[in-house]
Structure 1
Amino acid sequence: MRERRRAHRIPYQAILTIDEVYNQQDVIKESRKISIEVVDISKGGIGFIAKEELPLNYYFNAKIDLGNGREFYSVLRIMRKELLSKGYNYGCEFTGLADILSLYIDEFEEEVLSEG
């Protein structure tokens, strides 16, 4: 099988909270917060695990902190969902990631590779 990814996945451990999940017409899950466990990040997006089921092609806002003053806010779109024994594994893509933020991820990848 040919690899279709445009960017390398980098291990990234973080706990984020989603306040709302939305698309162009609807907002769902707005009454409570959803904790997610981020497992990797790339210039394309993030992978995370959550106990709750979230709909595909919906969006959420996230604050990403890569350390050393590299933190940014982004909108992510839920692209992939896989059922696990303890919840769901999701793949999300960044929407409209600015070039400077992409550089933050490049720097983070270099740090992770030099440590490993």
Structure 2
Amino acid sequence: MSAERRKYKRLPLDVSVQLECISEEEITTEKYLHVETMDISTAGLAFKSSYELNVGTFYDTRIIIWTKEEIHTVLKIIRSQKVDDGFVYGCIFIGLPERESIKIEIYQLLKERDDQESN
């Protein structure tokens, strides 16, 4: 079994994420693109989408967490992988306020506790 090499722990997340392109070169046909979140950390997130997005682009992002609170931040796509039914993207948060980062940390703590209790 390989050791986790990531600096920030990533956990699966059951939340809604909406992206709005903020690059002048790209124009979306919808105000927001809805994507399927795969995991999240305080540094970024991974998501799956049927939309083809370019590495290096920025998106104004609204993440609706389990408490129905919203986290507003900017994402930068740093990697992309084509999969059978779309694309998987890796993103980093740009300028995530500490108060928003704390919401993600709380989610991680609650998720770990729930996982331990179910074992």
* TM-score, normalized by the shorter chain, greater than 0.5: yes
- Other-structure match for 2:6: 5
Judged with a 3 Å threshold, the aligned counterparts in structure 2 of structure 1 residues 49 and 109 are, in CA distance, closer, same or farther, namely same
Q: TM-score, normalised by structure 1?
A: 0.84
Q: How many pairs align? A: 113
Q: TM-score, normalised by structure 2?
A: 0.82
Q: Which runs of 5+ in 2 are unaligned?
A: none
Q: C-alpha root-mean-square deviation of aligned residues, in Å?
A: 2.0
Query: Does the aligned pair in 1 maintain the 2:16–2:65 contact within 8 Å?
Result: no
Q: Given residue 106 of structure 1, which amino acid in structure 2 is its aligned partner?
A: E
Judged with a 3 Å threshold, the aligned counterparts in structure 2 of structure 1 residues 63 and 34 are, in CA distance, closer, same or farther, namely closer
1:31-54 Cα shifts (integer Å, max 9, x gaps) = 224321111110011100001110
Query: Does the aligned pair in 1 maintain the 2:22–2:60 contact within 8 Å?
Result: no
1:29 aligns with 2:30: no
Provide the secondary structure at the position in 1 that maps to 2:12. strand
- Other-structure match for 2:74: 75
Say which structure is richer in strand. 1
